[in-house]
Structure 1
Amino acid sequence: MKHLTILIFLVLLGCKNEIKREIDRSVYDIWNDYTKSHPDFKNNKIPESWYFHNNEEDANRLAELTVTGKKKAASGLYVWYKEANASLPKIGTKHIITDFDGKAQAIIEIKKVDTIPFNQISTEYAEMDMGTTIDPLKKWKKAHWDFFAGVLRDNGEKPTEEMLIVCERFETIWTTKD
Structure 2
Amino acid sequence: MRNISIFLFLILVGCKDESKNKSEIGTENQSEMTTEIENEIDQSVSEMWNNFIQSNPEFKNDGIPESDFFHNNEKDANRLAELTLTGKKRASSGLYSLYQQYNADLPSVGTKQIVTDFNGNAKAIIENVSVDTIPFNKISKEYAELDMGTDIEPLEKWKKAHWEFFENFLKESGQKPTEEMLIVAVEFEKIWPKNE
Runs of 4+ in 1 over 4 A off after TM superposition: none
Q: Which is higher, the Rg of structure 1 or of structure 2?
A: 2
1:152 to 170, 176, 180: 170
The match for 1:89 is 107
Give the TM-score of the pair, scaled to structure 2: 0.82
Task: Give secondary structure in 1 for the equivalent of 2:134.
Answer: strand
2:7 match: secondary structure = helix
- Give distance in 2, aligned partners of 1:147 and 1:69: 24
Instruction: Tell me which residue corresponds to 1:35.
Output: 53
Could you say what secondary structure the match of 1:70 adopts?
Answer: coil
CA distance in 2, matches of 1:177, 1:54: 27
Name the residue aligned to 1:11: 6
SS in 1 for 2:62: coil
Q: TM-score, normalised by structure 1?
A: 0.91
Alignment of 1:25-104 (within 5 A): 25-104=43-122
On the 8 A contact 1:114/1:167 being kept in 2, the answer is yes
Gaps of 5+ in 1: 1-8
Q: Which runs of 5+ in 2 are unaligned?
A: 17-38
Give aligned-pair identity as a percent: 61
Amino acid at match of 1:11: I
Quote the Cα distance in structure 1 between the aligned partners of 2:182 and 2:100: 11
CA distance in 2, matches of 1:134, 1:150: 25
Map 1:85-164 to 2 at 5 A. Answer: 85-164=103-182
Q: In the aligned structure 2, how far is the partner of 1:117 from the partner of 1:173?
A: 29
CA RMSD of aligned residues (A): 1.7
